Every structure is written in C-alpha cells, then in structure tokens.
Chain A
Amino acid sequence: MRYITYLSIGILFGIIMFKSEAASWFRIYEMFHFGSFHMYGLMGSAVVIGIIGVQIIKQKNIKTIDGEKMNLKPKDLSVRRYLFGGTIFGLGWALAGVCPGPMYVLAGAGYISILIVIVGALIGTFLYGLLKKKLPH
C-alpha cells in the first residue's frame, strides 16, 4: 500500500518535471545564459513556498501520517564537500543538460540516449563510493 503512495508521488513528480519543462535540455542551457526567468521562477517559487511550509511545520510541530517527527534533520556542516561536490555536479548538469530527477522522466518519455546518462550517473556514484575516504569532506 505504501509503495502505491510513493509510486503516485513519483508519477506526479514526473508529470510536473516534464510539463514545467524543467527536464528540457533547452531550458537548462537557456538558464545558464540568463535567457529567461522560467527556471529561476520555478526553483525560486518552490523554495519560497517550501520555506514557508517548513516554518509552519516546525512552529505547529506537524507530524507525518504515522505520527512521527518529519525528516528535517540539519545537514552536517562543512564547506569543502558541498562546494567541490556541488561544482562537479554543476559541470555534469550543464554538460548532459539533465539532473537526476529529469533523467528518469526523460527515460519514460522515450529518449533512449538518456540511458547512457543514467549508466554514467551510476558509474559516478560507484566511483564516489570507492574514493570516498580519499576525498576532502
């Protein structure tokens, strides 16, 4: 039953990513050329509503459907891993023109080539697992 919930949320997410054009290579390229407000508005409005909602959740101590605390743990403080990891991610995001969510959405939309990007992402993840101890965090 729970799995149906996650599946449904995923379907909703996939439709939103595709229809809002966040999964389009063109939109990512345009964003880095500051050609349109679209991607900034998309992320910006999601974050503004997100901040307000998370504040409400914290103030009113709203629980999950199972009555547990929501998963809003602070992240470990560090600069290097976020800056280095983030920058490497950004290089790939712009090179392939897709980020992890849209990869799957585009696979569903029938772009066979995206499977190469997904295989690459799995290889990248595996490489990180191998090198983790040697990297500055």
Chain B
Amino acid sequence: MNIIYEPWPWYVGGPLIALVMFLLLFAGKKFGMSSNLRTVCAAMGAGRTANYFDFDWKSKRWNLMVVLGAIIGGFIASNFMGDSRVGIHPKVAQQLSEDYQITSAGEGYMPPEIFAVDALDDPFIIAVLLIGGILVGFGARYGGGCTSGHGVSGLSNLQIPSLIAVIGFFVGGMIMIHLLYPLIFR
C-alpha cells in the first residue's frame, strides 16, 4: 500500500489523467481546467462590461464543482497522502541554486523562495505571480484551452488546433525559462 504514499510515477499518473477525461466525457462534459475562469468572471458580473461574459453561467456550474473538487483533492493529497518532497534531476537542481539561488529542490513541493508567505514581502515576487497568472488566464482564453483542454482532450481527439496550441505552450515556456528567466530572476 506504500505506493499510494510515494510520489506517483508518470505511468500511473498519465493513465489516471486519461481516466478523468473519460469520466467527464461519460458525464456529458469535457475535460478542460481553464473554461471555469470565464464562468467565474461571468458569475462576478463581467457580462455587463464585455459580451464574452454575457452567457448563462449557471449552466456551467458543473465546472465550478470540478474546481471545488480539485481544491479538496489538493488538500487531501498534501495532508494525508505521504511525503510531498519533489526530487528533480540533480543537474537542474544545481543550476537552480547557482543561477537563481533557489536551493530548495528536493526539500519540498514548491520553492519557498517564491511560494512561502514570507516571500510576499517582496513586491517583485507578487509581480511575478500576478503577471504569470494574467498571462495564463489571457493565453488560455485567447488560445481556447490550456494543458488539459488542448494538451489532453484536444490531442486525444486528434485536433490540429490543439497541436498548434500545445506547440505554442512549449514555445512560450522555452522563451520564458531560457531567455527571460535570466533577465527577470538575476
């Protein structure tokens, strides 16, 4: 039974992600974790300002339930399902500590240098998190999906648009990590 408490390898996690997609398909819905952002904006009254949010958001309440579930799932997994230290390749860990003084690889799930509450004393960290979020939200809605909607659902359905989007995800990520990180996190 220890296997549940250890980090799950890719060949366990990947098939389970596919299972989640199929469960949602059987329920008559679609697997995609960013459309809920539009639903939340609409529920907060954004329909008064932009047409894009002027729809019957109550018909999309199901995806808010999935979000609530994801929050509960994160709580359960982090508190009751064992060790959450993430070990990455030693070379990448070393590079992180040498280039960006992020020395916490292997010690936790997230780097406290960015995600600890204390780190929020630094306005720079707040800006990184906020701008990162803005790009994620804007890009996901502009591109019509995220890693789940395009990366898993769309590719599984052999959608060319999803392949283009996934290539975009990767291009953007590579530009950020290899060209912009050295400028941002000096």
Contact = CB atoms under 8 A, between A and B. Distances in A.
Contact of A125 (B37, B92, B169): B37
Interface residues of B, number: 128
B114 A25 contact: yes
A129 B12 CA distance: 37
Contact of B52 (A30, A50, A90, A132): A132
B167 to A, nearest CB: 7
A127 B17 contact: no
A98 to B, nearest CB: 8
Given A86-B165, A95-B132, A110-B78, A77 B160 contact: yes
A50 B132 contact: no
Given A49-B18, A50-B18, A97 B75 contact: no
Question: How big is chain A's contact interface, by range?
Answer: 35 or more
Nearest to A70: B25
A120 B111 CA distance: 20
Contact of A36 (B67, B79, B89, B137): B89
Contacts, number: 507
B172 to A, nearest CB: 2
Nearest to B177: A32
B140 to A, nearest CB: 5
Nearest to A18: B77
Given A85-B165, A88-B143, A113-B129, A68 B11 contact: no
Contact of A64 (B20, B27, B109, B138): B27
Contact of B134 (A30, A79, A105, A123): A123
A85 B142 contact: yes
A87 B69 contact: no
Given A19-B7, A23-B74, A100-B140, A71 B30 contact: yes
Contacts of B114: 25, 97, 113
Interface of A: 2-3, 5-33, 35-47, 49-51, 53-54, 57, 64-66, 68, 70-72, 74-79, 81-101, 103-114, 116-130, 132, 135
13 contacts: A13-B70, A13-B73, A33-B92, A43-B14, A47-B152, A72-B157, A82-B143, A82-B144, A82-B161, A86-B164, A93-B147, A99-B148, A121-B137
Which 3 residue pairs of A and B lie closest in terms of their CB atoms, listed nearest first? A10-B69, A14-B73, A120-B133
